[in-house]
Amino acid sequence: MAKSSFDMSLVKELMHKTQEEINKMPPVNVMLVGKTGVGKSTLVNSIFRENLSQTGIGKPVTQHLVKIAKDGVPISLYDTRGLELEKSIQHQVKKEVLDTIKKNKGKEDQIHVVYYCLNAASNRIEASEIDFIKELGKEVPVIVVLTQSIGTPAEEFRKYIYQLNLGIVGVVNIMAQPYPIYESVTIPSSGLVELIDLTFTVVPKEVSEALTNVQQVDIARKAKQARKWATHYIATTFGIGFSPIPFSDATLLVPMQVTMMAHITAIFGMAVDKNTMTTIVSVVGGTSGATFLGRYITSNLLKLIPGVGSIAGGIISGTTASIVTTALGMSYVEVLTILAKSQQEGGTVSMDQLKELMKTKIEQRLKQGKQNPDIQRIRAQQGITKELQNDSPIKAEIIENEKQKTNPIKIGVRQTKKLTQQVQGWLQKSMKLGTKDKKAK
Ligand SMILES: Nc1nc2c(ncn2[C@@H]2O[C@H](COP(=O)(O)OP(=O)(O)OP(=O)(O)O)[C@@H](O)[C@H]2O)c(=O)[nH]1
Ligand SMILES: [Mg+2]
């Protein structure tokens, strides 16, 4: 292909769609409370992407409260200031904080969680702070973050805070950034994943995608979420009811695949730049739009799936479409995971390595065809379990899922009562039916 026709339309569309997906996410709103210098900014810059505390735009909400946000990043931070000042000002800060939380309840600006930061090294909490935390805890989930936590004293401080029964969600020891003690001794960062995991347990479900997007400490969680979403997307889009299309119309698959890849990128929430995206897309046939990718699917990808390539003039069934799409989607998740991990560790992955990785992963999956575990999982979601072998780990997974769904421990008392009544009703009905059946005979 001539260089001049390399029009990048597919890459542009992917980037555009990714941003659209992110814009659709209701943002997660986090409030930071704590005296100046405890490490609020260091904390948020370590757990959330984009160095928000430095690069975000701050808008005053009240005299002592600033809202920090950045376009295209689905989080708003509310940063308090002035808590260390004299009593009368402290009083004002607290009032502003509580008023803002109360006023925004049920609205888009609702505060979902408060990180109340205390310096672990100071090892003390004032009576007025105890009261304030208790008041906050009545309005919103509060996590007490012990910043700059070092060793046993910080652990002890945590236990001490815990037994104060402040009505909070939890207390976490954090070292947000490595902390140098001597030239040769540095305390590594810690506690960030624990804080994020705890945060996930308290924020409403509708902002969990935004939180997955913005957090940068738990990459495995991003990957898991992306895989889960992709599995569901493929199962519903390319499953039963997918009208088979002729090979020549493989371009029809492309818009759905672009949507999938954009949504995966949005869930990951990492800045995938144009170069990286171009490299990844070029692996699957080029960057000049749907036609090209569609042609690539028919001439190269389908050939690799066992049993499919040999059907001359055949059609693409739902199964085949889902095999190709899964190969694209899951390989993409794997590549993004590797990229994110390498970014986290300050390393780089070369474009050549990326290309090779994506190519190998896709081919591997296509060659496995229906035997690929992700495909089996998708088919299981569609209720097709007959082809699973008894020792298949996916079968065990399904059984485990079913168990969790009906786990009686998870059902409340009232529901249990209702369920019992329902079951009794069914039993009576079926017994009546049974006697009728017998009579009929
Ligand atoms: N090494 C290390 N330094 C930290 C950590 N947390 C805070 N610091 C240091 O403590 C100082 C204050 O941290 P900030 O994050 O600016 O504190 P802040 O709460 O945002 O302060 P204000 O914005 O002034 O209210 C900085 O010099 C940081 O480098 C940490 O986890 N590790
Ligand atoms: Mg700050």
Q: Determine the residue of 42, 83, 175 to mutate for testing ligand 1's pocket, defined as the one with the most ligand atoms within 8 A of the Cβ atom.
A: 42
Q: pLDDT at position 424, please? A: 47
Q: What is the dihedral of CA 145, 162, 85, 131, to 10 degrees?
A: 130
- CB proximity list for 235: less than 8 A, separation 6 or greater: 322, 378, 381, 382
More confident residue, 5 or 171: 171
Centroid of ligand 1 to alpha carbon of 330 (angstroms): 39
- What integer is the mean pLDDT of 305-314? 66
* Helix-, strand-, coil-residue percentages of the chain, each rounded to 5: 60, 10, 25
Between the CA of 113 and the centroid of ligand 2 the distance, in Å, is 18
CA distances from 4 to 9, 11, 288, 291, 351 (A): 13, 16, 11, 17, 21
Between the CA of 368 and the centroid of ligand 1 the distance, in Å, is 51
- Please give the share of the chain, as a percent, with pLDDT higher than 70: 84
- The residue whose C-alpha atom lies closest to atom 29 belonging to ligand 1 is 42
Report the distance separating Cα 246 and Cα 8, nearest Å: 27
Residue 118 has pLDDT above 50, yes or no: yes
Atom 6, ligand 1: residue with shortest CA distance? 39
User: Among residues of the chain, what percentage have pLDDT more than 90?
Assistant: 54
> 126: exposed, middle or buried (C-beta count within 10 Å: 0-12, 13-18, 19+)?
exposed
What average pLDDT does the segment 285-312 reach? 73
Supply the residue whose CA is at minimum distance from atom 8 of ligand 1.
Answer: 39
* Residue with CA nearest ligand 1 atom 21: 37
> Phi-psi region for residue 307, left (φ > 0), alpha (ψ -120 to 50) or beta?
left
Give the pLDDT band (50/70/90) at residue 8.
Answer: low
- pLDDT score, position 10: 82
Q: Which residue's CA lies nearest to atom 22 of ligand 1?
A: 36
Residues whose CB falls within 8 Å of the CB of residue 79, separated by 6 or more in sequence, listed in order = 32, 40, 41, 53, 58, 65, 66, 67, 68
Residue nearest to atom 1 of ligand 1 (CA): 179
Distance in Å, CA 122 to ligand 1 centroid: 14
Compute the distance between CA of residue 255 and CA of residue 241 in angstroms, rounded to an integer: 18
Give 82 Cα–ligand 1 centroid separation in angstroms.
16
- Which ligand is nearest to the Cα of residue 81, counting in written order? 1
What is the average pLDDT value for the chain, to the nearest integer?
84
In this structure, what are the phi and psi dihedrals at residue 79, rounded to the nearest 5 degrees? -105, 125
Q: What is the pLDDT of residue 313?
A: 56
* Residue 369 near residue 326 (C-beta atoms within 8 A): no
The confidence score (pLDDT) of residue 303 equals 82
Q: Report pLDDT for 245.
A: 80
CA of 37 to the centre of ligand 2 (A): 7
Counting ligands in written order, the one closest to the CA of 54 is 2
**What pLDDT shows up at residue 272?**
77
Distance 40 CA to ligand 2 centre (A): 5
Residue that is written with structure tokens 């609020």 in the block: 40
**Residues at CB less than 6 angstroms from ligand 1:** 34, 36-42, 81, 147-148, 175-177, 179
Q: What is the Å distance from ligand 1's center to 35 Cα?
A: 11
Separation of alpha carbons 353 and 280, rounded Å: 10
Residue 438 pLDDT > 90: no
Question: Which residue type, as a one-letter code, is found at position 77?
Answer: L
- pLDDT, tens digit (0-9, with 9 covering 90-100), for 251-287: 888 888 888 999 999 999 876 788 888 888 888 776 6
Atom number, ligand 1, closest to the C-alpha of residue 46: 31
Higher pLDDT: 102 or 404? It is 102
Q: What pLDDT is attached to residue 420?
A: 45
The pTM assigned to this predicted structure is 0.83
Shortest-distance atom of ligand 1 to CA 42: 15
Q: Which residue has the tokens 């369920």?
A: 419
pLDDT for 297 equals 79
173-200 pLDDT, tens per residue?
A: 999 999 998 888 999 999 999 999 999 9
Name the residue among 359, 360, 363, 357 with its Cα closest to residue 337.
Answer: 357
Return all residues near 195 (Cβ < 8 A) that are at least 6 apart: 47, 115, 143, 145, 172, 174
pLDDT beyond 80 at 387: no
Instruction: Give the Cβ contact number of residue 434 at 10 Å.
Output: 10
Q: Tell me the CA distances in angstroms from 161 to 37, 84, 165, 346, 439, one per residue in order.
A: 20, 20, 8, 35, 71
What pLDDT does 439 receive? 43
- Ligand 1 atom closest to the CA of 81, numbered from 1: 25
β-strands 73-80, 65-70 pairing: antiparallel
Nearest CA to ligand 1 atom 31: 176
Name the band, by pLDDT with cuts 50, 70 and 90, for residue 43.
very high
Give the residues across from 144 on adjacent strands: 116, 171
Closest CA to 323 of 258, 383, 368: 368
> What is the CA(272)–ligand 1 centre distance, in A?
29
Distance CA(31)–CA(109), nearest Å, equals 11
Q: Report d(CA 174, CA 372) in Å as an integer.
A: 41
The pLDDT, as a whole number, for residue 413 is 40
pLDDT at 289 over 70: no
Region 98-121: mean pLDDT is: 96
Q: For 94-112, what is the mean pLDDT? A: 96
Q: Higher confidence at residue 6 or residue 390? A: 390
Over residues 215-251, the pLDDT tens digits come to 999 999 999 999 999 998 998 888 767 778 887 777 8
Give DSSP secondary structure letters for 239-290: STTPPPEEGGGGGGGHHHHHHHHHHHHHHHT----HHHHHHHHHHTT-SS-H
Q: Does pLDDT of 35 surpass 70?
A: yes
Supply the residue whose CA is at minimum distance from atom 10 of ligand 1: 39
Measured CA to CA, the distance from residue 237 to residue 175 in angstroms comes to: 44
Report the nearest atom of ligand 1 relative to the CA of 35: 25
Q: Nearest ligand to the C-alpha of residue 43?
A: 1
Q: For the stretch 324-342, what's the b/e string if a residue is b when 16 or more beta carbons lie within 10 angstroms of its beta carbon?
A: bbbbbbbbbbbbbbbbbee
Ligand number with the minimum distance to the CA of 147: 1
